[in-house]
Amino acid sequence: MQRTQRPLLARLAGANPTSVFLLTLVVVLVAFFTPGVIGGLLTLALAAVLIALLATTWPVQSPQTRLIRLLMLTLLVTVGLAKLL
């Protein structure tokens, strides 16, 4: 591990991609199908985690990837805010 690498990022890099995908899918489905404020807060919490990951990986992403990620994040935040209202 490099001195500039954070321990959390090293653990995330070593995680099984299939497990991470399935866990994220479960969280998204629960957030989308849970009505009201709880569903909105879960959706916004997921968006906050994705914002942190986006900020961390921003320098190494291509402009096209950045645009797609920003669009998807905007959609997720919009859905979360709509569920809160």
Q: Per the domain annotation, does 27 fall within a domain?
A: yes
Confidence at 4, pLDDT banded by 50, 70, 90: low
Confidence at 43, pLDDT banded by 50, 70, 90: very high
Q: How many domains does the chain have?
A: 1
Tokens of 27: 């969280």
The 10s digit of each residue's pLDDT in 59-74 is: 888 999 999 999 999 9
Residue 14 has pLDDT above 60, yes or no: yes
Q: Per the domain annotation, does 2 fall within a domain?
A: no
Provide the percentage of residues in the chain whose pLDDT is more than 70.
93
CA distances in angstroms from 85 to 5, 33, 39, 63, 80, listed in the order given: 40, 15, 11, 33, 9
The whole domain housing 25 covers 7-84
